[in-house]
Amino acid sequence: MMSEASETVSEDLSAARDRIAAAYEPRLLEEAGHRLAGLLASHLARAERSENAVLPWTEPPEAVRQAAALLRDSPARGEGVPDGFARLVTGMLDRGLNLHDPRYLGHQVPASVPLAGLFDAVGSVTNQVMAIYEMGPWATAVELAMIQELGTTIGWAPGAFAGSVTHGGSLANLTGLLTARNVALHDGWDRGLSGGGATPVLLAHAEAHYSVARAAGILGLGSRQTLRVGLDSRGRMDPRRLDEELTRVRAQGRPVVAVVACACATPTGAFDPLDDIAEVCRRHEVWLHVDAAHGGAALLSDRHRHLLSGLEKADSVVWDAHKMLFVPGLCAFVLYREKEHGFDAFRQDAPYLFDPAAPGLAEYDSGVRTLECTKRAAAFGLWGVWSLFGRQLFADMVDVTFALGRAFYDKLEEADDFAALHEPQCNILVFRYVPAELREAPAERLGDFQLELRRRLIESGEFYIVPSKYEGVGALRVTIINPLTTPTHLDQLMDALRRHGRESLNG
Ligand SMILES: Cc1ncc(COP(=O)(O)O)c(C=O)c1O
């Protein structure tokens, strides 16, 4: 016979079970899913036609207040679940940055191929995560297949190389440089770096992404031990200066963990001369890490592949799919030319995860190759779109966006009130609006004006571009990373900058 107390508990739990069953009801998913498909499709259609603001600007505290209010007392809770769901989704869509608006020309984050998000949703709804193969068998298979596809695209022989998928380019740089550190400093993983010998260094492109110096800090090398290698007039690492710097550092007896080259560098999209850099690294017997987070995709284009000539000689390569492969974040690859280095980053025992009864399976376990233990299935979107449309779609998106970078440069060069600050090597371009009134202005005034102008522009919702600095002075920067942008949008951007610029000057 049940005691009074356990009866109460059992009644309480039956109510809990009913609520849980209602939340897990597959028909609810079906109904909400239909609503979601309709809402997303009409939102994207409006964004692609530029019907709303690119950025619906809200002051951050107000946005946080709105989100918190919905947690406490959401009107959605008083409605049927599908209606409540639709209301919340509509609110999310209304408040986000509209990357699919062709007037979005901002960060190195793309207007992603819409169906990629649906493939990712399959992984999210069924919660396919990884650490060991059996937790996410298909997620693992998909990642390894993509690693094979990208590695052979670099030019490496099938089966000879290795790689892993991480949550973003910063973590991919950290992982690749950790591998380089373990290879260069042999027992650093076990003994730490307090060996008392000469301080190890990293040599990097002078404008390498900040994640490189951050990695040096995290890896115990010290962010100040990242020596910046000078650039040529086009913003590319100068192999001659690299050679000199390596000779100098070697003469001091300092171990070199790696040389970090960029393909391309974040500020202006400059591609380093990889063939020459690889030759210098070969002579000095130094690990070459190439951050191709943005530019790796150029390998897929017949027109632009030459920019990456020599990439196949790198020891490690970072390639973000959530940049120029146009899939949603986060999906980044770190690839190693030599297969054995695929396991050199992390040397961890976790007997409860990695099954000694099936040692042959360990190479399929992502957990031995990545910082994350449980890791989101990050490559479903890329694998799905690649399988559906083939590699041509990626080549097309590179060709179209790189061509727009060039077209924008030509337009700026033709206008007497704009200054392009470099020739573009891809779809990144830094420039300034220089109205007649500011032609003779001090550099600082001209730079501050660009930043004020951008603020006005993005808060108007008309376009989205980002601030930058060029030679220490404020500037404007575009990354043309929505393949639906056209040259007409670029003309409209210039007109909008003129209009907001005049308003700013008139106070
Ligand atoms: C060259 C380069 N490397 C690394 C990163 C960092 O990538 P993520 O933002 O995915 O961490 C960026 C970001 O813009 C980048 O441009």
What does the domain layout of the chain look like in residue ranges?
A: 122-389, 393-505
Q: Is the CB of 294 under 6 A from ligand 1?
A: yes
3-state secondary structure of 257: strand
Does ligand 1 lie within 6 Å of residue 168's CB atom?
A: yes
pLDDT for 453: 97
Among left, alpha and beta (phi > 0; psi -120 to 50; other), residue 310 is left
Give the integer Cα–Cα distance in Å for 287 and 282: 8
Reduced 3-state DSSP string for 372-391: CCCEECCCHHHHHHHHHHCC
339 burial level (CB within 10 Å; 0-12, 13-18, 19+) = middle
Residue nearest to atom 4 of ligand 1 (CA): 169
CA-closest residue to ligand 1 atom 7: 169
| pTM greater than the 0.75 cutoff | yes
Q: Strand 428-433's sheet: what is its strand order? A: 418-420, 428-433, 473-479, 466-470
pLDDT at residue 422, rounded to an integer: 97
Residue nearest to atom 8 of ligand 1 (CA): 169
- Do 122-389 and 393-505 come out as alike in CATH topology? no
Phi, psi at 190, each rounded to 5° = -85, -40
pLDDT tens string 333-353: 999 999 999 888 887 666 666
Residues of the chain with pLDDT under 70: 1-11, 195, 348-354
Residue 398: what pLDDT? 98
- Residue 213 in contact with ligand 1 by CB distance below 6 A: no
Nearest CA to ligand 1 atom 14: 108
Are the C-beta atoms of residues 274 and 261 closer than 8 Å to each other?
A: yes
| DSSP conformation letters of 13-56 | HHHHHHHHHHHH-HHHHHHHHHHHHHHHHHHHHHHHTT-S-SS-
Q: How far apart are CA 43 and CA 139, in angstroms?
A: 29
Q: Which two tokens stand for residue 152?
A: 């052979």
The crossing angle, in degrees rounded to 10, of helices 60-72 and 81-95 is: 170
With CA atoms as reference, report the closest residue to 450 among 437, 464, 436, 468: 468
CB-count burial class (<10 Å; 0-12, 13-18, 19+) for 420: middle
Q: What's the sign of the alpha-carbon dihedral 161, 164, 165, 168?
A: negative
User: In this structure, are residues 386 and 333 in contact, taking their beta carbons and an 8 Å threshold?
Assistant: no
Confirm or reject: Cβ of 376 under 6 Å from ligand 1.
no
Question: For domain 393-505, which architecture applies?
Answer: Alpha-Beta Complex (3.90)
Rounded distance, CA 273 to CA 306, Å?
A: 10
* Per-residue pLDDT, 348: 62
* Identity of the amino acid at 423: E
Q: How far is CA 487 from CA 76, 301, 325, 349, in A?
A: 42, 21, 21, 55
Q: Which fold has domain 122-389?
A: Aspartate Aminotransferase; domain 2 (3.40.640)
Instruction: Name the residue type at position 254.
Output: R
3-state helix, strand, coil in the chain (%, to 5): 50, 15, 35
Q: What separation in Å is there between the alpha carbon of 323 and the centre of ligand 1?
A: 8
Q: What is the 3-state secondary structure (H, E, C) of 462-479?
A: CCECEEEEECCEEEEEEE
CA 11 to chain centroid: 50
Taking the CA of residue 335 as centre, how many other CA atoms within 13 Å lie in the half-sphere pointing to its CB? 36
Mutate-to-test residue for ligand 1 from 294, 317, 334, 371, highest number of ligand atoms within 8 A of CB: 294
Q: Is 175 in the pocket of ligand 1 (CB under 6 A)?
A: no
Q: Residue 402 is encoded by which pair of tokens?
A: 């790189």
Among the atoms of ligand 1, which is closest to the Cα of residue 329? Answer: 10
- How high is the pLDDT of residue 3? 57
Whole-number Å distance, alpha carbon 169 to ligand 1 midpoint, is 5
pLDDT tens-digit readout, 304-340: 999 999 999 999 999 999 999 999 999 999 999 999 9
Report the distance separating Cα 209 and Cα 467, nearest Å.
Answer: 16
Whether ligand 1 lies within 6 angstroms of the CB of 211 is answered as yes
| 394: three-class secondary structure by DSSP | helix
Whose structure tokens read 């849980």? 20
Task: Report CA(320)–ligand 1 centroid distance (Å).
Answer: 8
State the amino acid at position 311 in one-letter form: L
